[in-house]
Amino acid sequence: MRIIGIDPGLRNMGWGVIESWGSRLSHIANGTCHSEGKDLAARLLSLHRQLSEVLDRWQPDQAAVEQTFVNRDAVATLKLGQARGIALLVPAQAGLSVAEYAPNAVKKTVVGVGHAEKGQVAHMVKMQLPGANPSSPDAADALAIAICHAFHAQTAGRLAAAVEAGR
């Protein structure tokens, strides 16, 4: 299964593609979409175009997106939410199922601690995906989101198989 993880951001939207075969994971690609333009609409459109190109090139089977946390600045949170809308829309347009994970769930899955620092996340991504060299902290976070999804999909698959075997 090929998974794209997406770390939404209005300035920088990280993405990471991995492949999962059972419990084995391998790094395929990663990068960052940088928004272009002065107004919000142009920036969102540039993120949409760039992320669409990433999906066209790497052909993932599933997508995972980090959920937005609400901070004290309501305007910044709203803008991040709009960028997150692009992160959800593009894979959905491509016909992919899109899973969503809270930031703490991603960190707990990848690092083992729900409040891990960005550096710890990047380090564990490199440990779990030998040869991966994330191009930015946003790309490292996106790879962590993809790893989190692979883990949860594997667990869901085992549970479904156990239920089916019990019938």
- Whether 7 is catalytic is yes
Q: Which of 7, 39, 61, 117 is catalytic?
A: 7
- Whether 73 is catalytic is no
Nearest-angstrom CA–CA distance, 119 and 134: 12
End-to-end, the C-alpha distance of the chain in Å comes to 27
Give the phi and the psi of residue 100 in degrees, each rounded to 5: -125, 140
Q: Which of 66, 100, 141, 164 is catalytic?
A: 66
Q: Strand, coil or helix: what is 144?
A: helix
Q: Cα–chain-centroid distance for residue 106?
A: 9
- Close Cβ partners of 160 (under 8 Å, ≥ 6 residues apart): none
- Close Cβ partners of 60 (under 8 Å, ≥ 6 residues apart): 2, 3, 4, 17, 91, 96
Q: How many CA atoms lie within 13 A of 152 on its CB side?
A: 20
Beta bridge partners of 19: 2, 26
As annotated, the active-site residues are 7, 66, 138
